[in-house]
Amino acid sequence: MWFKNARLFQLNEDIGLDPQALNEALQKEALTACKPQELLSKGWVSPFGRTSDVYVWQSGEALLFCLGMEEKILPAAAINHQLNQRIENIQSETGQKPGRKQQTDMKQQLVLEMVPQAFVKPKQVFAYLDLNLKMLIVDTSSQNAAEELVNHMRHTLGSFKVSAFGPSSSVAQVMTHWVTHAKAEGGFDIDSEIVLETMDESKGLVRGRNIEHLDDQMQQHIDNGYLVTSLGLVFNDRIDLILGHDLSIKKIKFTDIVLDQMEENGLEDEFQILDTKFTLFSLEIRAMLKALFGVFKQSE
């Protein structure tokens, strides 16, 4: 179970449920298929698929689960095409074009008629609780999608107090220091991708790729007040990642050193395969996050 991204939330209280109780709570709020007139349906699904009743998978102090969604796809272009045809028909029959309010009512009626025949787009967002770090880790690059999962967990449990990490100028300053001195800390090494931004209203932004050193132009941007807000890093030669100044982590990729540790040969059972992958992933990410927070705690 490899996450490509990690949106981080700090747990502010004990969830008060053991894995079995959490499994039962999520199962009661399982995803149901979109009803004919529904545009969206949300609910929990098993990491092992719809035929499984395992909604929470535990590996040590890590609990894996998944939010599922079904969304009806109604392209705006298709709706507008049908609407224009109806408007033209009315104008042809009556000699008058429908007014704005009538067009709005017609559009709403069209949507109601088209929803039952719309294609359904499934989506899954995986996440896990790291009880050792007291953190929720969500596999998405979108903060909105991560907040959506948090809100649904809050709906399911009644209370789920977590705090998101927002953009931090202190994190940006640390990464800028790393780039300026061509040296990171805490087991991290600087990789190729970099984004520089201003923290003021000018919204200046500069992107760089395949950098081996800080060139004169980038140094000039830093001298003019730009800070590093996104930086490619390698942790202990084991994990490639891109770190944002809001502590978002993107493009997670394990190096061959880690991948060679997990061989699927002989693991035919889906539970064994997922457990092996998730165990390795959660332990590696935990080590990386501990090093990361150690660095930024020292910089405060």
pLDDT at residue 275, as a whole number: 84
pLDDT-derived band at 161 (thresholds 50, 70, 90) equals very high
pLDDT at residue 152, as a whole number: 97
**Cα–Cα distance measured from residue 162 to residue 134, given in angstroms and rounded to the nearest whole number:** 10
For residue 34, give the nearest of 114, 110, 119 by alpha carbon: 119
Percent of the chain with pLDDT over 70: 94
**Cα–Cα distance measured from residue 80 to residue 61, given in angstroms and rounded to the nearest whole number:** 51
For residue 126, give the nearest of 236, 34, 3 by alpha carbon: 3
pLDDT at residue 175, as a whole number: 94
DSSP state, 44? E
- Of the two residues 261 and 101, the one the predictor is more confident about is 101
pLDDT-derived band at 300 (thresholds 50, 70, 90) equals low
pLDDT at residue 45, as a whole number: 97
**What are 195's strand-pairing partners?**
207, 230
Task: State the average pLDDT over residues 182-205.
Answer: 86
pLDDT-derived band at 208 (thresholds 50, 70, 90) equals confident
Examine the pLDDT at 191 and tell me if it is beyond 60: yes
* Residue whose pair of structure tokens reads 């490639």 in the numeric block: 240
To 5 degrees, how large is the angle CA 280–CA 282–CA 284? 65
pLDDT at residue 16, as a whole number: 80
Task: State the average pLDDT over residues 101-108.
Answer: 90
pLDDT at residue 214, as a whole number: 58
Examine the pLDDT at 55 and tell me if it is beyond 90: yes
pLDDT at residue 37, as a whole number: 83
Q: Where are the domains of the chain?
A: 7-72+119-161, 76-116, 169-299
How far CA 259 is from CA of 96, 265, 280, in Å, comes to 68, 13, 9
Examine the pLDDT at 263 and tell me if it is beyond 70: no
pLDDT at residue 267, as a whole number: 59
pLDDT at residue 113, as a whole number: 82
**Cα–Cα distance measured from residue 268 to residue 271, given in angstroms and rounded to the nearest whole number:** 9
pLDDT-derived band at 229 (thresholds 50, 70, 90) equals very high
Examine the pLDDT at 78 and tell me if it is beyond 90: no
pLDDT-derived band at 240 (thresholds 50, 70, 90) equals very high
How far CA 48 is from CA of 25, 28, 124, 238, in Å, comes to 17, 17, 12, 27
Query: Which letter, b or e, does each residue of 142-169 get, where b requires 16 or more Cβ atoms within 10 Å of its Cβ?
Result: eeebbbbbbebbeebbeebebebbeeee
pLDDT at residue 261, as a whole number: 72
pLDDT-derived band at 247 (thresholds 50, 70, 90) equals very high
pLDDT at residue 34, as a whole number: 87
pLDDT-derived band at 223 (thresholds 50, 70, 90) equals confident
Of 23-32, 73-82, 114-123, highest mean pLDDT: 23-32
Percent of the chain with pLDDT over 90: 57
What does residue 46 show for φ and ψ, rounded to 5 degrees?
Answer: -75, 140
Query: What mean pLDDT value characterizes the chain?
Result: 89
